[in-house]
Amino acid sequence: MSDALSRRMNPLERRATFSIASIFSTRMLGLFMIFPVFALFAEQEFSNVTGIQIGLAIGAYGLTQALLQIPYGMLSDRFGRKPLIQLGLIVFLIGSIICALAESIEMMILGRAIQGAGAVAAVLTASVSDLVREPYRLRAMSIVGITIGLSFTLSLVLGPLLAEFIGVRGIFWVIAGLALFAMLLVWLALPPITEQRFQREAEAIPSQLLQVVKNTQLLRLDVGVFILHAILTAMFVAIPFILRDEGGMDSMSHWEIYLPVMLLSFVLMVPLIIQAESCGRMKMVFVGAIAMIAITQLGFAVYQQSLFLLFILLLLFFTAFNVLEASLPSLVVKLSPADKKGTASGVYSSSQFMGAAIGGAVGGFFFQFYGYNGLFLFTMTLALIWVALAATMQKPMPWSIASVAVGPVLASEVAELEHKLCAYEGVFEAVVIADEQQAYFKIDRKLVDETALLEYFKQVREK
């Protein structure tokens, strides 16, 4: 294979990457298309509905997703990735149909919880590791991440547009159709996984959970993503009412606000991400984005009467939100121990979904009893707590996590090998797992790559 070809993913890896990205995106659309339209729908459709019930219905998917995603990953190790993905999509389909047919807010909450119970995110991530060679996994996951971000943006625009033509119940039928489409992708597009194995970089290890939770740097990120998604979910209990009642917008035209907001927020996000990742200003940009979240929440709390101001506040919020959504997973990798990336990512994802669940319920409570102002003062307080936590985190270094297969290693060799590997320029941590015949590294990719590491490992062994 030529050098040019060796630097590219092969056709099977590209097929795997884009099929998994597509499956992820269908689920994201299904979970988030109702965010901008559900509160108004629930008020009109269900009698005596409360703010708490609206918040529970919006965020209920997060609770079951948080509780079940790690068990799904563990079951997929035993029964296979594709069967568990299909099972999760069937559960998601059932939940979507229940929501479409729901005659009460309680049934709607149940349906949303069942949607979240199709928690296949960890299984899909492990499938990337099964099907894509290690040097290209970061690229593959970047493609998946970009697709997820675009799907979230599209969902906020599509929700109001579809509601105008087919209603919110129609949206749930569309979501059910997306679940069927995703099942077809698993069957027809996702390549067979012929060499499935446990992926320490993509899957959680129960025995590591306590160590990861006790890591104060990672805990800051877990609390942070919890707060971010709690704020997001709580906001959508109130924002549709504010746009209608204070902004004077018909509920079916809310997409006219969300479309320019989301497009402009992506444009504004790009230079901030470049400053963070390429110019070594990650912490400054990160803390600044959190502070901007707090400022926007204060803005929503004190002034809602101007549609132009609402537009500016939403634009600033989603610019900061997109920066944080892009930065947080990167920070998890930078701050995670080399052999605990999968567990750290699992705890992080569970925190994210739990934040959505708690944010919906508690945000609904504040909205019900204290109105717009009370809800946004609550979310502002959450953001200020996060500012304090983020300001005290250590400065992130530009490190990545890599792994190489090293063949049989004696347990007695491990400590000395790790010491020698850390002496290599660009390697800052090395963990050799003898049972897995695998070495895990924290590296600076500008100085070293997996091929060089493997060659150096061979040299060390020969000496």
Measured CA to CA, the distance from residue 273 to residue 325 in angstroms comes to 11
pTM to 2 decimal places: 0.91
Confidence of residue 2 (pLDDT cuts 50, 70, 90): very low
Phi, psi (5° rounding) for residue 397?
-95, 155
* Selection from 403, 439, 436 nearest residue 418 by Cα: 439
From its phi and psi, is residue 303 left (phi > 0), alpha (psi between -120 and 50) or beta?
A: beta
Contact yes or no for 276/390 (Cβ under 8 A): no
Summarised one tens digit per residue, pLDDT across range 185-224 is 999 999 988 777 777 777 788 888 899 999 999 999 999 9
**CATH assignment, 404-462:** 3.30.70.100
Question: At how many degrees (to 10) do helices 450-462 and 414-421 cross?
Answer: 130
Measured CA to CA, the distance from residue 234 to residue 257 in angstroms comes to 19
Residue of 295 and 345 predicted with greater confidence? 295
Measured CA to CA, the distance from residue 200 to residue 205 in angstroms comes to 7
Summarised one tens digit per residue, pLDDT across range 5-16 is 346 788 888 999
H, E, C per residue of 110-176: HHHHHHHHCCCHHHHHHHHHHHCCHHHHHHHHHHHHHHHHHHHHHHHHHHHHHHHHHHHHHHHHHHH
* Tokens coding 437: 């015949």
What residues contact 262, with CB distance under 8 A and at least 6 apart? 153, 156, 157, 318
Whether residue 272 has pLDDT greater than 50: yes
pLDDT for the residue 3: 39
Summarised one tens digit per residue, pLDDT across range 359-393 is 999 999 999 999 999 999 999 999 999 999 999 98
Whether residue 64 has pLDDT greater than 80: yes
Summarised one tens digit per residue, pLDDT across range 118-150 is 988 889 988 888 888 777 777 888 888 888 888
pLDDT for the residue 365: 96
Confidence of residue 264 (pLDDT cuts 50, 70, 90): very high
DSSP state at residue 394: P
Average model confidence (pLDDT) across the chain: 88
pLDDT for the residue 4: 36
Q: Where exactly does CATH 3.30.70.100 map onto the chain? A: 404-462
Measured CA to CA, the distance from residue 384 to residue 156 in angstroms comes to 26
Q: 1-191: what CATH class?
A: mainly alpha
Summarised one tens digit per residue, pLDDT across range 280-319 is 788 899 999 999 999 999 999 988 678 899 999 999 999 9
Q: Where exactly does CATH 1.20.1250.20 map onto the chain? A: 1-191, 212-396
pLDDT for the residue 422: 84
Measured CA to CA, the distance from residue 8 to residue 345 in angstroms comes to 26
Domain 212-396 superfamily per CATH: MFS general substrate transporter like domains (1.20.1250.20)
**DSSP H stretches of helix in 195-253:** 209-214, 216-245
Measured CA to CA, the distance from residue 156 to residue 67 in angstroms comes to 26
Whether residue 111 has pLDDT greater than 90: yes
